[in-house]
Amino acid sequence: LRAKAPASAGRWVVSFPFRDTLRRMDFRSDNTHGCSPEIVEALARAAHGSVSSYGSDPYTDRLRERCRELFERDVDIFPVMTGTAGNALAIASLTPPWGTVFCTPEAHIHRDELGAAEFFSGGCTVIPTDDLASAIPLAAVPACVSATNATESGVVLDPAAVAELSMHRLRVHIDGARFANAVAASGASPADLTWRAGVDVLVFGGTKNGCMGVELIVLFRRELAQELTYRWHRAGHRVSKMRFLSAQFEAYLTDDLWLRNARHANAMAARLAGGLRGVAGVEIVREVQANIVFVRVAPRLRALFANAGYDWPLFGDDVYRLVTGFGTTEGEVDQFLAAIPSS
Amino acid sequence: LRAKAPASAGRWVVSFPFRDTLRRMDFRSDNTHGCSPEIVEALARAAHGSVSSYGSDPYTDRLRERCRELFERDVDIFPVMTGTAGNALAIASLTPPWGTVFCTPEAHIHRDELGAAEFFSGGCTVIPTDDLASAIPLAAVPACVSATNATESGVVLDPAAVAELSMHRLRVHIDGARFANAVAASGASPADLTWRAGVDVLVFGGTKNGCMGVELIVLFRRELAQELTYRWHRAGHRVSKMRFLSAQFEAYLTDDLWLRNARHANAMAARLAGGLRGVAGVEIVREVQANIVFVRVAPRLRALFANAGYDWPLFGDDVYRLVTGFGTTEGEVDQFLAAIPSS
Amino acid sequence: LRAKAPASAGRWVVSFPFRDTLRRMDFRSDNTHGCSPEIVEALARAAHGSVSSYGSDPYTDRLRERCRELFERDVDIFPVMTGTAGNALAIASLTPPWGTVFCTPEAHIHRDELGAAEFFSGGCTVIPTDDLASAIPLAAVPACVSATNATESGVVLDPAAVAELSMHRLRVHIDGARFANAVAASGASPADLTWRAGVDVLVFGGTKNGCMGVELIVLFRRELAQELTYRWHRAGHRVSKMRFLSAQFEAYLTDDLWLRNARHANAMAARLAGGLRGVAGVEIVREVQANIVFVRVAPRLRALFANAGYDWPLFGDDVYRLVTGFGTTEGEVDQFLAAIPSS
Amino acid sequence: LRAKAPASAGRWVVSFPFRDTLRRMDFRSDNTHGCSPEIVEALARAAHGSVSSYGSDPYTDRLRERCRELFERDVDIFPVMTGTAGNALAIASLTPPWGTVFCTPEAHIHRDELGAAEFFSGGCTVIPTDDLASAIPLAAVPACVSATNATESGVVLDPAAVAELSMHRLRVHIDGARFANAVAASGASPADLTWRAGVDVLVFGGTKNGCMGVELIVLFRRELAQELTYRWHRAGHRVSKMRFLSAQFEAYLTDDLWLRNARHANAMAARLAGGLRGVAGVEIVREVQANIVFVRVAPRLRALFANAGYDWPLFGDDVYRLVTGFGTTEGEVDQFLAAIPSS
């Protein structure tokens, strides 16, 4: 979540009306991009005819089958429109209202979702920590570990790292807003990055990686499906014309569109980072493993980077985040690099 | 909400996986239809380029302007994917957690949303009643009247009927899942059916009437906009690529698509009702004003009607609901009428 | 809940500061009385020495044993300070957040607790109805029947009537704010009025019948005990010095204090009703089975009855409620009867 | 909150039934003590006669007047039974559901209340931090600072330290479970420690310091009183026979009972700490300012200290907490000191 706030107050303010125009050299987020043509085509095909609503349709049936192949086991699926919805619904199904959920200090569920997990779960506690082993024993009712992969820092967790999260005998949720980027970068299989490493539920992102707006809750614990169905419905996230979410995700998983898009985004970040390395006044402050580049820049470059990306105070003063996406072109990257004045 | 339940238990059960095929002569609901080609085209046009996320985009700006013209005054807008989301967010902004919300016994918020209003508001009480004047004084903290227009019974409220709802000095919410049908049927202006009649917030439906999936919360009380923005976001209903919701609704309001679709649906219901009148064994049990027809049928016709529509126990045994939509053709109506055996 | 409200608005208003003095001939409620001397003595005895907090104390242990004898089976107990707390905690343990709870239109949980059940359960729906058999099949997720015994109307349910409530295969909660009055009036055993008739949880009232402030959640389903313990604690209802609640209830159950107090209150209501019968301008509008008398009075008597009791619009215009308690004396009753002017 | 938990899992487990006996040399908590005789006497006096319920009684009126004198200004008061209730209700009135509340890592609201603040507020985020200035700007909607005085570490905040908490332009809540100990130790006035230092609401503890069970929410912002009244009632914390809470607190404030008890408890802690200083194998790890002593002990002493107090892993291995109370005698302290074996 990024909204302009008064520097002094730290408050999250939303002003109406918004003003914006189409942008070029836009590395603010992977959600400023449009969508892949395959997604539009799938929606156009799905626009005809009459099918049952609320998920009882052939599109959703086919998507479920496709997921069962991809994850190499039985799964239940719940398409939703946003990552916040997916995360909050998933976490609510993994913790009682009095439970504690552990995440990293930079986790989206902690920083950017305005307490959605607390709201959906009926008041759980979310504790940001970099030290699970110390934090868990201090909690009254430890319930769930929530991790993001690829992380908000642009780091990719491999199967061993995911498995370590599940060593604490708590339930495990993966915020996979950039799961495709993690699979593309790690080369690990979806199964190895999830249930084989102890994950209970994955929110498999589509929106940031070429879809119009769909995230898929992939549930690996069948016994939670009925309850999650109720939560999904009463939260207003079970859309009536579900074919239009399922058709998007089906197209996304067809012919490896999800992986092709993610590989491209990752490659663009690598290209951008490669170009930034050695530029005077630019320091790359996190290893670039997926599609995000964090840089600390000299004062003379701040306006340029502030326009192209977001300032990122969590990682320090003068730090900016640049994100590439499926729609980023080599030309945009090169144009941005060329725009950096040499001292 | 319609899911097959064991007749004896009355429980709402969701079974996985769902089975369905494309249907013909489908009068189950207006959400079994696909979407209008204008909507697909608008989405295709919006798929390109980079814009700000979360509503700071030109599509949403234009939609807001368009709404201000349509409603003849300043409004704030909040696009969401589902009517349940729109209703629950709107109601939560009109009642404190300890308030009472009044609706009709057949209201969607009462029957079909699994307690979404109670959830989003932090535990409000929802009281179904046909007698507002008697019910309101008995409540501890009366807060809000919620009405549907066109109603779930297919009745259209005219401006005077809406104004009567606002006589109780409570806040007023309109569930406008079929608002277009109400405007088309009544001939009243959107302004006359809402804020001029005392309405505080309208959930203006698009999904049932030709969109893929978008409902628009139209807020007539500016002072509630900031809080509603927070609620919208933390409920996971503020989509990042909002252009794809706004573009749908913009197309919906362009060249009167919304009214054309609604008029067609209403006309198909009239055609259907006209054909059913006088058929032996069929009794029309509610006046047909919009796009819904309720009939009580003789035993020999039950299987036919159960297949075409839904049984509707709220209105009595052997009662079925038939809904027409923007996608219903004259041919389908006539084909269905022809399929009714004459004793 | 009774607070003076502007007649026109029906709103529940609380004004500060309150003004009151000690009253005589007070039939407003059984919670305007003080407490029995045995309760004070028990508290005085418990005031000494050091014991574990939060329920791990010998007072609570003894109370649990005493309850097991009284109910003729194993039970778990959770002392709380108020009936609202007891009811809301109990109901929250019997319904999921998306469930529907059924009660009577006059139920305290519906009229007087400001949505406590909705709040504690995470947003359940509470439906007031006099016709369970019709209402249950219409609900999406029927979860729980909540009944009061003796009822808010002063009616006593016998074991057969309670058993009928549990015929619907839903969980059953009894609001026993006046459970003692029901036992005293019916002569049925606590076991026969609860678990043997299918009740899952009873809130056994002490406050209205001679205690200072304690209600006992008596849980007949052991598998819900752990979860209820968490709910109890996080709602702030698990008092640290629990001995002071347990000691009250232990004294209440000792030497039949609870039954003696209830029999007295019931007898005083019978005496009051007996005196009112045949008085010109007074009509008893509900059968008097416990300690509440509802009367419709002629205009000339309204001021007198409004001062002694509460007006009760739920039962019609000019209806007043008179409640007797453990502290009501024959003298007070007779004095009130004598104060009624004979036309 | 202290319940025996399996060492490995860190889970908060409650087992039934509890076992305990009267203890001597009990430094586990100030809530293991009984209550002062003045409290019992006040309750005995209040046990007679009929008064209005829910706070409209002369006891509560007098208590409010007494508080206005004590705090040297107008205040609203809300008696409750537990600190968890007081804290959660107070915080819920200071933050929107989407707000962030900041507290210290050892705060009771964070460690011991099972998410009560999150529950009562409708899902706020509670962030434990020792660095307010850094944490506040990172939160989306900073709302409230919650501090404890005296703290859970036994530290006393003086007016300047409290005023510093209110420098951030957020609302300020004080958990005053040991407020009396803070006043006694600092010598500052109640007004200087609260509203004059920017505090919006205080939960003034009675239970730990000689009452049976009453905490007083003291509200310094009149405009929040109506809403807090609703919250108080629907949470089941507005007891019907409120005279029995108000009478306790009135007696507590009479003839400085609250200060006398607190001074005694503080003196006993000083005596205990004095005796422990210089004992081989015992290290006092926090400055002793109020009635709590934290010590790190050598292995040979662990059983003794584990029996007398609680282990306190938050402050490190082998650390124990010893708490004195109004009921602690010099003899008990000396007896405990004498029981420590000299190597």
Percent of chain D at pLDDT above 70? Answer: 93
- The pLDDT, as a whole number, for residue C23 is 56
- The pLDDT, as a whole number, for residue B23 is 57
Integer CA distances (angstroms), C213 to B108, C34, C117, in order: 41, 10, 20
* Cβ contact, residue pair A98, C230, below 8 Å: yes
Residues of D in contact with A119 (CB under 8 A): 97-98, 122-123
Residues of D in contact with C236 (CB under 8 A): 80-89, 113, 116, 235, 237
Alpha helices in D174-256 (DSSP H): 179-186, 225-234, 243-253
Secondary structure E strands in C140-298: 142-148, 171-176, 201-205, 215-219, 282-284, 292-297
- Closest-approach residue (CA) in chain B for A108: B234
pLDDT above 50 (res A15): no
Secondary structure E strands in chain C: 76-80, 100-103, 125-128, 142-148, 171-176, 201-205, 215-219, 282-284, 292-297, 310-311, 319-323
- Residue in A99, A140, A313 closest to D137 by CB: A313
- Confidence category of residue A133, pLDDT binned at 50, 70, 90: very high
In the predicted model, what is the mean pLDDT of residues D236-262?
A: 98
Q: How close D239 gets to chain A, by Cα (Å)?
A: 25
In the predicted model, what is the mean pLDDT of residues D274-303?
A: 96
Q: How close B160 gets to chain A, by Cα (Å)?
A: 31
- Closest-approach residue (CA) in chain D for B99: D230
A115 interfacial to chain D (CB closer than 8 Å): yes
The three-state secondary structure class of B216 is strand
D137 interfacial to chain A (CB closer than 8 Å): yes
DSSP code, position B23? B
Q: How close B117 gets to chain C, by Cα (Å)?
A: 8
Is A161 in contact with A41 (CB distance < 8 Å)? Answer: no
- Residue in C9, C114, C125 closest to B118 by CB: C125
pLDDT above 50 (res A11): no
- The pLDDT, as a whole number, for residue C160 is 98
Task: Tokens for D50, please give them.
Answer: 């009929």
Which stretches of chain C drop beneath a pLDDT of 70? 1-24
**Residue A121 or residue A19, greater confidence:** A121
- Closest-approach residue (CA) in chain C for A96: C227
Residue C113: phi, psi to the nearest 5?
A: -115, 10
Nearest residue to C139 (alpha-carbon basis) of B128, A200, B227, D151:
B128
- The pLDDT, as a whole number, for residue B219 is 98
Sign of CA dihedral C248, C251, C256, C257: negative
Which helix H or strand E contains D112, and what residues bound it?
none
Each residue of B115-145: pLDDT tens digit? 999 999 999 999 999 999 999 998 989 999 9
Is D200 in contact with D94 (CB distance < 8 Å)? Answer: yes
- Confidence category of residue D3, pLDDT binned at 50, 70, 90: very low
Report the distance separating Cα C289 and Cα C155, nearest Å.
6
Q: Which of A54, A89, A98 to mutate to test the interface with C (most CBs of C within 10 A)?
A: A98
Q: How close B142 gets to chain A, by Cα (Å)?
A: 23
Is A300 in contact with A281 (CB distance < 8 Å)? Answer: yes
Size of interface C-D (CB pairs under 8 A): 232
In the predicted model, what is the mean pLDDT of residues A190-214?
A: 98
D223 interfacial to chain C (CB closer than 8 Å): no
Each residue of A295-313: pLDDT tens digit? 999 999 999 999 999 999 8
- The pLDDT, as a whole number, for residue B1 is 41
- Residue in C122, C141, C227 closest to A122 by CB: C122
Q: How close C28 gets to chain D, by Cα (Å)?
A: 8
* Cβ contact, residue pair A230, C122, below 8 Å: no
Report the distance separating Cα B92 and Cα A236, nearest Å.
13
Apex A141 CA angle, A138 and A147, nearest 5: 80
In one letter, which amino acid is D239? Answer: V
For residue B298, with 0-12 CB atoms within 10 Å meaning exposed, 13-18 middle and 19 or more buried, which class applies? middle
For C297-303, the CB contacts below 8 A with 24+ separation are C300/C341, C300/C343, C301/C340, C301/C341
Which stretches of chain B drop beneath a pLDDT of 50? 1-22
A226 interfacial to chain C (CB closer than 8 Å): no
D111 interfacial to chain A (CB closer than 8 Å): yes
A310 interfacial to chain D (CB closer than 8 Å): no
Each residue of A24-83: pLDDT tens digit? 678 999 999 999 999 999 999 999 999 999 999 999 999 999 999 999 999 999 999 999
pLDDT above 50 (res A254): yes
Residues of C in contact with A122 (CB under 8 A): 97, 122
Each residue of B161-174: pLDDT tens digit? 999 999 999 999 99
* Cβ contact, residue pair A238, B82, below 8 Å: yes
A230 interfacial to chain C (CB closer than 8 Å): yes
Bond before D46 cis per omega within 30 degrees: no
Task: Tokens for A132, please give them.
Answer: 């699970």
A37 interfacial to chain C (CB closer than 8 Å): no
User: Which distant-in-sequence residues (6+ apart) come within 8 Å of D232 by Cβ?
Assistant: D78, D80, D89, D217, D238
- The pLDDT, as a whole number, for residue B247 is 98
Instruction: Write down which chains contact chain D via at least 3 CB pairs under 8 A.
Output: A, B, C
Residues of D in contact with A313 (CB under 8 A): 137-138
pLDDT above 70 (res D9): no
pLDDT above 50 (res D230): yes
- Closest-approach residue (CA) in chain A for B238: A82
Pairing state between β B310-311 and C76-80: unpaired
Each residue of D69-95: pLDDT tens digit? 999 999 999 999 999 999 999 999 999
Report the distance separating Cα B72 and Cα B64, nearest Å.
12
- Closest-approach residue (CA) in chain D for A134: D314
Report the distance separating Cα B284 and Cα B275, nearest Å.
11
* Cβ contact, residue pair C98, B112, below 8 Å: no
B205 interfacial to chain A (CB closer than 8 Å): no
Report the distance separating Cα B172 and Cα B175, nearest Å.
10
B286 interfacial to chain D (CB closer than 8 Å): no
Residue matched to tokens 């539009």: A40
* Cβ contact, residue pair D230, B96, below 8 Å: yes
- The pLDDT, as a whole number, for residue A23 is 56
- The pLDDT, as a whole number, for residue B12 is 35
* Cβ contact, residue pair B142, C97, below 8 Å: no
